[in-house]
Amino acid sequence: MALTSSAAPNWLDRWQRPLEAIVLPVAALVVALLIFGIFCALAGANPVAVYGSIYKAAFGSWSAWQNTLIRASPLMLTALCTALPARLGLVIIGNEGALVIGGLCAVVMGLSIGTSLPPFVGQMTMAIAAIIGGGLWIMLAGALRHYRGVNETISSLLLNYIAIAFMNHLVEGPMRDAEFVTKPSSAELTEALWMGSLPGSRIHYGLIYGLIACVLAYVLIQRTTFGFAARTAGGNLRAARIAGLPVGKLTLAVCFLGGSCAGLAGMIEVAAVQKRINESLVSNYGYAGILVAFVSKHNPLATILVAVLLGGILASGGILQRSHDLPDATVLVFQGIVFLCVLFSDSLYGRLPWFQEKSVV
């Protein structure tokens, strides 16, 4: 053993850590797929055929890719709502609530604008309203954490339910469109404010918003003094305080940014998909976003990749139901298995013999 390690080429040692950071999550995904296969087999479906269907429905054709990317864009944004505060050491899971508040703000703004502004300006105004609404919503959880010591995980989760109840109250009462009878909803946005699609596809511009947000978040966290301060405070709160970092302001700012991303996701959903606000906006993008953030280890660039993967899995939910007779909750079970496997893989860092630092002989 000692012989082989001293004989091992130098580059292997240098690439050990990055390699470990890639191999472990990928291995976790593979293990999750295997466990999911066993689960499907127990439920009476052929696992290989299920894998095939998921691949086909997610990445098998241009049409499948479009479905996947349409779902990936809100996921990128809601994931940032967990990923950004996580760099500060906060576990925020209020993504769904911020998304709903963002969608609500966008619709209120959109309905009051109507056709009075040029479409592009109108959409930007809606986006800004959603960003501010979602941002303030999560900033509330951050402020409660900082000033009152309230556990941010629980408070942000409670805010989800409050946001959904508030939206239900508005669409049942003050904002209800009496002519739309399918389900209680607000009035429809004027067509000028609908978000268009990228040329030659069904993919709406939300994808661009998501990509830009992820790249900006990456630059902000990894390449600016603000990001450095946030990461320092996340690493060691006391040291950050002693170094004179404004921890309170950092907490509020990072929570605002995270919430604003989820709010933007809400605006995209109402402007590109729903066109009005009702209960359909609560479609688990928030909770799936938490998963994306954790799987991507709160790295905004990895978030893009994981969001596309999960978007593909979400896109395959329908086909599992149609051709394998599996309930739509199968996708949720799969998400849970992936999450658990990835968390377990965290405990393996530095414990696997291949990645251990070789002792100098």
Where on the chain is the footprint of another protein (CB under 8 A)?
Answer: 43, 91, 93, 144, 146-151, 153-155, 157-162, 165-166, 168-169, 172-173, 287, 290-291, 294, 326-337, 339-340, 343-344, 346-347, 349, 351
- The residue among 136, 139, 81, 131 whose CA lies nearest residue 109 is 131
Nearest distance in Å: CB 97, another protein: 10
Toward another protein, which CB reaches closer, 45 or 126?
Answer: 45
- Which residue from 109, 104, 90, 126 is spatially nearest to 256, judged by alpha carbons? 90
Cβ 244 to another protein shortest distance, Å: 19
Q: Mapping DSSP to helix (H, G, I), strand (E, B) and coil, where does residue 241 land? A: helix
Q: Which is nearer to another protein, 109 or 331 (CB)?
A: 331
**CB 319 → another protein: shortest distance, Å?**
16
> Residue 44: left (phi > 0), alpha (psi -120 to 50), or beta?
left
- Tell me the closest approach of the beta carbon of residue 293 to another protein, in angstroms: 10
Q: Least distance in Å: CB of 157 to another protein? A: 5
Query: What count of Cα atoms within 13 Å lies in the side-chain half-sphere of residue 23?
Result: 12
Closest alpha carbon to 162 in 103, 105, 97:
97
b/e string for 112-132 if b means 16 or more Cβ within 10 A? ebeeeeebeebbebbbbbbbb
Q: Which is nearer to another protein, 216 or 332 (CB)?
A: 332
Tell me how far, at minimum, the Cβ of 167 lies from another protein, in Å. 9
Tokens representing residue 81 in the block: 């709502």
CB of 83 to another protein, least distance (A): 13
In the bound state with another protein, the residue whose beta carbon lies nearer, of 211 and 332, is 332
Among 264, 319, 318, 339, which residue's Cα sits nearest to residue 75?
264
Q: Which residues does residue 278 pair with via DSSP β-bridges, in sequence order?
A: 185
> In this complex, which beta carbon is closest to another protein, that of residue 157 or of residue 207?
157
Q: What is the DSSP letter of 352?
A: S
Which runs of consecutive H residues, i.e. helices, occur in the chain?
Answer: 2-7, 10-42, 47-59, 62-87, 95-113, 119-143, 152-172, 206-223, 225-235, 237-242, 247-268, 285-295, 300-315, 317-324, 330-346
Which residues partner with 197 through β-bridges? 204
| Least Å from the CB of residue 123 to another protein | 29
For another protein, which is the closer residue by CB, 35 or 128?
Answer: 35
80 or 193, CB closer to another protein?
80
Please give the single-letter amino acid code of residue 100. V
- Beta carbons of 159 and 94 less than 8 angstroms apart: yes
DSSP-assigned letter for residue 184 = -
- Considering beta carbons, is residue 64 or 337 the nearer one to another protein? 337
Coil/strand/helix, residue 177: coil
State the nearest-atom distance from the C-beta of 207 to another protein, in Å: 25
150 or 319: whose CB is closer to another protein?
Answer: 150
